[in-house]
Amino acid sequence: MSWNVFITREIPEEGIAILKRFCQTVEVNPHDRSLTYDELLQQVKGRDAILTMLSDKIDARMIQEAANLKVIANYAVGYDNINVKAATEGGIVVTNAPGVLTDSTADMAWALLFSVTRRIVEGDRLTRTGKFTGWAPMFLLGGDIVEKTLGIIGAGRIGTAMALRSRGWNMKVLYTTYKSRNTILEEDLGAQKADLETLLRESDFISIHTPLSEKTRHMIGTRELSMMKKTAYLINTGRGPVIDEMALVEALRNKQIAGAGLDVYEDEPRLKPGLAELDNVVVAPHLGSATVETRARMSVMAAEDIALVLSKQKPKNCVNPEVFTR
């Protein structure tokens, strides 16, 4: 078939090769940047499939204009950038990339936890600028991790992987989930399901892994931050808008919590005013899935699902299965 596919950013070759074997036209955004909304709108017209990034906003209008579109494969596990309801109404299958980025994202959450708690980035800045003048007993003291309490907000795949890594530090684990229970965490770690307030009040480290939805937007705001211990750290490798970022800037500035490690932002890629000036936060540029191996697996997963949908088979990772029973 003469399938026509557009990939909105250059991705690892593995996935592109699969698409090239299967489709007549495979075009990749030639720029080293995201397309603007209008550029993307022009590109989706006439395509049978698009492979999209979490930074592409695929709204109802875009879906309407893409009259031939059959599948949107999002190069991410989160898909809050896509109007899935509009896609379903248009008979368009939406797929994502779960599982393959679970470990790399859990590793990133730990990397941020260590960086902020042991003040590695702050120390790196001082060392590079000649401000390390010798070992000193009161210089850059951080916090202990061993035997502290880890609170996982959203114990799905990534939250579970994050928590399982705490075994080495013999931590107590609390978690929230929309599902009834997380038996892996309970059986392997003796973790306890908690309501959000208990988790906020009792945890020394809180790591956010919940997807972004209308329910979770600003789930952590002024009120929630005020429930956290003054010695606690907040880690976010999920989606920025789950935290009210201005409220977090205030809490960090007033030392209401000890620190934060962030990989995602409310208005990505912009940071809220004041955040970058604070020493008690580590800010990473959305690198959760950014390993060579993970990004290659994500490209294969997205390409295979496009090929499955175009050949009228069920994709492996569909987020709107109701599209098949409309």
Binding footprint of ligand GLV on the chain (CB under 6 A): 54, 76-78, 98-99, 101-102, 156-159, 209, 288-289
Euclidean distance between CA atoms 69 and 9, whole angstroms: 18
Whether 218 is catalytic: no
CB of 249 to ligand GLV, least distance (A): 22
If we measure between CA atoms, which residue out of 253, 255, 257 comes closest to residue 277?
253
Q: Considering just the CA atoms, what is the radius of gyration of the chain in Å?
A: 21
Q: Which of 239, 245, 266, 297 is catalytic?
A: 239
Q: Which of 89, 186, 250, 268 is catalytic?
A: 268
Give residues with Cβ within 8 angstroms of 222, minimum separation 6.
244, 247, 250, 251
Give residues with Cβ within 8 angstroms of 59, minimum separation 6.
83, 86
Q: Are 174 and 151 in contact (CB under 8 A)?
A: yes
Whether 209 is catalytic: no
CB of 52 to ligand GLV, least distance (A): 11
Closer residue to ligand GLV in complex, CB, 176/289: 289
Q: Which of 47, 119, 209, 286 is catalytic?
A: 286
CB of 305 to ligand GLV, least distance (A): 14
Closer residue to ligand GLV in complex, CB, 182/203: 182
Angle CA(21)–CA(298)–CA(240) in degrees, nearest 5? 140
Closer residue to ligand GLV in complex, CB, 235/257: 235
Give residues with Cβ within 8 angstroms of 326, minimum separation 6.
88, 91
Closer residue to ligand GLV in complex, CB, 23/106: 106
CB of 199 to ligand GLV, least distance (A): 17
Amino acid symbol at 24: Q
Whether 250 is catalytic: no
Catalytic residues: 239, 268, 286
